[in-house]
Structure 1
Amino acid sequence: MIVFAEQAAQSPESRVVLAEGRAALTSLNIEGARRAAIASALRNAVEKTLGVYISGQTLTKDYTLLRDQVLTRSEGHAVLNEVIRVEQLPQEIRVIVRATVSLRPLTNQVRALGLARSWRVQTLNPTLEKALTEAGFTVEEDEKKADLTVTVAPRFTTLAQIPLQTAVGPMTMYTVRGEVTVRARRGLEVVTARVQTETARHINLETARQQAVDDALEKLAPLLTEDLLVLPSRLTQPVQLVVTGVASAEAAQTLCDRLGALPGVLKALKRSWSGSSATFELEVPTETTLASPLKALGLTVLSESKTQIAARNQAVPKRVLKK
């Protein structure tokens, strides 16, 4: 499952995450434990990404069993970018890594196991409807029943008008450039947008415009379906975390790295540190409760709402090893 590399390229089909891994020092030297901890972190990176692609029902029922099915079949999903931190605890090594998880093979396996959410999509365009249906989406006529709404917005520029003399009389040959934008929305959020430009010619202006749109949509349809296939099934939300008892800006950054590696956190950003108080912004799946994961970091949650958490740091700093 694990591929090592110095750098991993960013792409629309990948996700960069922080993940934590641990390995026992028993029967292993420090370097061996370090490698084992990195391998564990990369598996955790895949699992962390998996959580936003499976259906909500799976999360509450057979997540552990189905998660193991995905992880045991995932090869080449996680690419190591950087080892951010290595800590030696009394009986184990703990690492935090930055890794790139490839979404295409992961989501393919999720769908193959029947775990993915089947998006219901509403569109009025026959070309897109055909492509979406063939890709396994459910196409709804009623926008209220759909999870996603796909719209088509064309813009036209007439490039040339050439007079013609024909057997039936004078005509004009129109050359038209059509710029077509396809957008998919989930509520008010635009989850993907694609643009394609095509040129068409015809003696009827409207026919030339329609041909340009049709040609553009033939190219846009597979791109749209690919974008939606890697669309997370769970919405995320920002949560502000304020932690007191943080001794320094360096300690705040270390805590930020560890926050970003938690299973329930997709992204962590340190906003500020002043005195002994640090403010972080976390991106988490909606309806996520962070009290237990934060406790594992030595934080005591004082108050928690959907958008704000206040906590106190009681963690004891550990000896940090050089990478």
Structure 2
Amino acid sequence: MIKRLIRTTLLLSVATTIAFAAQAVRFNVVDGNAEEHYNNLINKKIESVGYVLSDPHERINDAYKKKYGTKTLDDGKPNDGYDPAWKETLDNLGFFSIANDVALREILITNPEIGGFSPFNLHTYKKKNENKTYVGHLVPEVMLDIVGIKDEAVRTKFIAMFPALDDLVQKEIGGKVQITEYTALPKKTMMNFEITFDRPKDLGDYIDEFQEEFEAAFEEKKYIIAGYKNFKESYSDLELEFGKYDAYFVYSLCHFTYSYNIFNKGRPDAGALAPCSMYMYIEKGSNKLIIGMPTLANWTAVLNMKDEVMNKSADNLDKEIIKIMIGLGAKEI
């Protein structure tokens, strides 16, 4: 009996140390340069399956070449951004933020944290040394896990948005489906804040002032405001009920040098997690602005990034973003 108990305990102990793989990123991988097919998909076909394109950023690789790969500027002056280690590694790199606004509405009402991936990037890239184009996105399950949504009914609704999108990509892009896996998320998957404010008669005055300060603070630290989506206005335009919130909007943030040192230096697939979505909302009648954003630590975990320099830079940005938000009067929660 004792031997049996010892054996059972050992088996349970071993079982708890095993890391079970989960899906991370789904890519369609097709031979050749599929940039034209992708542009046709994203600009002309995406709405046929309910998705709305909000912030297209095509051929980011060209901007990398200009900023980091040229020694002089157009006016002949030295380029302070020139990287002596510059190497052109990409034929194409594109971020295209999309969301299924209509299907997403009910989930945003019950689980506003899904704004951490709403919109999300339908990513495309092609390496110079490989005659293949990649088109894809994070799988919905990992999005839900990162923002912390456990309710099975909500998860089912969110996941149900994706088969139509994936079928469209398969039809328009084709190729072989490749799904990468990861074994564990970071201990801290989200950074969350709240700001308590004196609510004015016209809430728009506070929002305008805050957004101006927010954008200036991040731009001062060399971030780019890569996108902005106002869900409150979108649902008003669609004449759909969204009365739980007096405001709900999402910023897409990109630190250009950070992204260059990741995407152009060996990990263009990491663009599936970019740009970073920071959602903000004020519930009806409230005087609290609630803010959330997935940490960049998710990049290193979900993509199994082993490069110590890349991982350290992600950690540094997480710390810097928290510092910027606290400087804006936010309290980390």
| TM-score, normalization by structure 1 | 0.27
Larger fraction in helix: 2
Greater Rg by CA: 1
